[in-house]
Amino acid sequence: MFKEHIRNDLYLSLLQMRHAEELFQLIDSSRSTISEWLSFPGNTNSAEDSRTFIEKSLKRFSSNNGFWAGIWYQGKLAGSIGFLYLDHKNKKTEIGYWLGNKFEGRGLVTSSCQLLIRHAFEELRLRKVELNMAVKNTKSRAVPERLGFTQEGIIRSYEYINGDFHDRVFYGLLKEEWKGLQQPLNV
């Protein structure tokens, strides 16, 4: 199935049922840091929950409406990334991602995003890629800023997580902007 090498120590591969236990263990071991910004760890209480997520993701992939892939670093599952949807009519998508806390600061998400952006523009012939995250999530915000995305706006009180409302910042990158920013996939 889908597997794409980015560099010698890094590749993306579609999450499959056999990854459910490893996915759950990664989420569980990083629950406190991931939960600070994302709601899904609160709904992931067992490997069975990870299986359900993978099943839904594979259905999304088979219906050409996005996917989630594992980010594999030095042979270990480090996190996940994917297209949250594919809007074929408006020729756009949104990338979502997260990493286990042991894998942060290695450029894994930036390199993985570069691959997905290239795929969106070259293979899927989309016109726009979007990213959004909590305004206070500075580590996550660094990715679109590093990749040349434009900040398009902030929605106040967008999401309620762990007893707090979080404002959400939206970034966008158009195909014509990306052509001038292309970098090798080895950040």
Cβ-contact 73, 8 below 8 angstroms: no
CATH of 3-179, one of 1.25.40.340, 3.30.420.40, 3.40.630.30, 1.10.287.950: 3.40.630.30
Please report the pLDDT score of residue 55 as a whole number: 93
Cβ-contact 24, 49 below 8 angstroms: yes
pTM > 0.75: yes or no: yes
Please report the pLDDT score of residue 44 as a whole number: 84
pLDDT (mean) for 27-43: 83
Q: Using DSSP, how many helices (H) and how many strands (E) does the chain show? A: 6, 8
**Residue 52: in which H helix or E strand, if any?**
helix 47-62
**Where in the chain are the domains?**
3-179
> Measured between alpha carbons, how far is 78 from 111 in angstroms, rounded to an integer?
13
pLDDT in tens, 53-106: 999 999 999 999 999 999 999 999 999 999 999 999 999 999 999 999 999 999
Cα-trace Rg, the chain: 16
170's tokens: 């939206």
